[in-house]
């Protein structure tokens, strides 16, 4: 049975049969493949594929998301490789495409994420499971409609330099669903900021992500000190789990509950 779809970069992905040897170079989509029941068909992953825990214990690690060991990929003889436009480099995508059919996701919205889940379901012969998963995720996100009015928020992903999430990112989309208005929704991608820029933005709340940079309580203290020196009111600065904001696979099923708890935490602070 042949399978053909256009991926999210409008590339045609054609399979002669349901794949039996899958490589995933995208952490959130590795977890998705497991949740689609494909554990026995996954042969290679990245070192950042930390969910589920047994993935790193039992699968061959091919490198990171930006640099892979090409020989290992070839030796695994995959019949499907999963990539992402943002997380993997164009060079990696080109190399993988020269090995076997390669699906490239491009996820900036919840709709994109649900479409990607359905695509992978179709490609791997798990359509029923995938459609139920995407439906369940959509239902959970609809329940967020009654969250309190939106707080002006800045979401930081990196330090030295400080980097935030702009309007055309999946993080921005999740911020909106979580009841936050991104103070950088007039900027694209991941703008770099100086500490003075952060102070001048005057956000109601600053969200320090646990990934890709792992902010700590000392970062919270440093930022509070900076606002105090600038004679600015103390801000609500909290460390947040980056996965609910940036993982766009099956982990999305857990994101709404996290967002609800986060807003409750902020209401009490």
CATH assignment of the domain containing 30: 3.40.50.1980
Query: Average per-residue pLDDT in the chain?
Result: 96
Task: Give, in order, the Cα–Cα distances in Å from 113 to each of 210, 253, 264.
Answer: 21, 11, 26
Within this chain, do residues 95 and 221 fall inside the same structural domain, yes or no? no
Within this chain, do residues 107 and 27 fall inside the same structural domain, yes or no? yes
How many angstroms separate the CA atoms of 86 and 120, rounded? 18
Within this chain, do residues 132 and 190 fall inside the same structural domain, yes or no? no
Q: Is the dihedral of CA 223, 262, 200, 170 positive or negative?
A: positive
Within this chain, do residues 135 and 155 fall inside the same structural domain, yes or no? no
Total domain count for the chain?
2
Domain that holds residue 50: 3-140
Residue 17 DSSP code = S
End-of-domain residue from the set 140, 155, 180 = 140
Residue 238 gets the label, from left (phi > 0), alpha (psi -120 to 50) or beta, of: beta
pTM, entire model? 0.95
Within this chain, do residues 33 and 122 fall inside the same structural domain, yes or no? yes
What pLDDT, in 10s, does the model give residues 226-262? 999 999 887 899 999 999 999 999 999 999 999 999 9
Cα 35 off chain centre by: 16
Give mean pLDDT, residues 113-131. Answer: 99
């Amino acid at each position: 049975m042949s399978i053909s779809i256009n991926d999210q970069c409008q590339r045609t992905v054609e399979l002669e049969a349901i794949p039996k040897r899958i490589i995933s170079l995208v952490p959130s989509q590795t977890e998705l493949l497991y949740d689609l029941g494909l554990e026995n068909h996954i042969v290679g992953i990245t070192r950042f594929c930390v969910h589920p825990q047994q993935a790193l214990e039992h699968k061959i690690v091919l490198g990171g998301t930006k640099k892979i060991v090409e020989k290992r990929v070839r030796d695994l003889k995959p019949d499907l490789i999963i990539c992402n436009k943002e997380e993997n480099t164009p060079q990696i995508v080109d190399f993988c495409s020269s090995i076997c059919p390669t699906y490239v996701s491009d996820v900036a919205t919840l709709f994109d994420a649900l479409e990607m889940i359905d695509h992978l379901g179709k490609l791997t012969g798990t359509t029923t499971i995938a459609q139920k998963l995407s439906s369940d995720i959509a239902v959970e996100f609809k329940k967020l409609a009654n969250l309190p009015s939106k707080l002006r928020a800045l979401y930081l992903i990196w330090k030295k330099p400080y980097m935030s999430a702009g309007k055309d990112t999946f993080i921005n989309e999740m911020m909106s669903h979580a009841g936050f208005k991104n103070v950088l929704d007039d900027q694209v991608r991941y703008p770099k900021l100086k500490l003075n820029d952060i102070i001048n933005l005057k956000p109601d709340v600053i969200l320090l992500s646990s990934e890709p940079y792992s902010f700590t309580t000392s970062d919270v203290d440093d930022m509070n000190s900076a606002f105090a020196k600038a004679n600015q009111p103390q801000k609500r600065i909290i460390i947040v789990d980056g996965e609910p904001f940036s993982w766009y696979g099956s982990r999305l099923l857990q994101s709404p509950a996290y967002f609800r708890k986060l807003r409750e935490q902020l209401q009490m602070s």
